[in-house]
Amino acid sequence: MRNMSDIIEQYLKQLIQDSGGEVVEIKRAHIAEKFDCVPSQLNYVIKTRFTNEHGYTVESKRGGGGYIRITKVETHSKTEYLAHLKKLIGDGVSEQNANRLVQSMFENEVITIKEAKIINAAVERETLMLELPFRDTLRASILRRIIDVILYSEE
């Protein structure tokens, strides 16, 4: 793969899978050493690839016996999961976060890849042709409506 951050991302996701698909607990320094990078790179990876929008929760503790725990958000109940996403969207959402949400929905098999592309296209910056902050508001509105539709058509 292309770069260290991507590699570490994959590694962590594998760890989650291997441990039952829900959670993983790591030592920051340990992973950093394994991949021969600075510890703070782990923070970067987490901040860009394991956000709420991506469907993860991260907890950590400093000091002796410290750790970083990454938990995958429960998606067994599609209803709750989608309600959760709607909450994250709120009244406004950036394109970056929107993409993360869509990615998460795809990974959780709520939508297909084609649906993901359609949704992303609908909320792209260029498509929405508006200035901030209206653009983020509109994007949120569109996404919330789409999620509603997905909720309906599941039943």
Residues that bind a second copy (CB under 8 A): 1-3, 5-6, 61, 63-67, 113-115, 117-122, 124, 126-130, 137-138, 141-142, 145-146, 148-150, 152-153
130 binds, among a second copy, DNA, none (CB under 5 to 8 A by kind): a second copy
Task: Build a one-symbol-per-residue string for 40-59: x at contacts with DNA by CB under 7 A, - elsewhere.
Answer: xxxxx---x-----------
* Residues 110, 114, 116: CA angle, nearest 5 degrees: 55
**What is the edge-to-edge ordering of all strands in the sheet holding 56-61?**
23-26, 67-72, 56-61
Question: CA-CA distance, 106 to 76, in Å (whole number)?
Answer: 14
- Are 85 and 75 contacting, i.e. CB atoms less than 8 angstroms apart? no
40 binds, among a second copy, DNA, none (CB under 5 to 8 A by kind): DNA
124 binds, among a second copy, DNA, none (CB under 5 to 8 A by kind): a second copy
Q: Omega before 39 cis (within 30°)? A: no
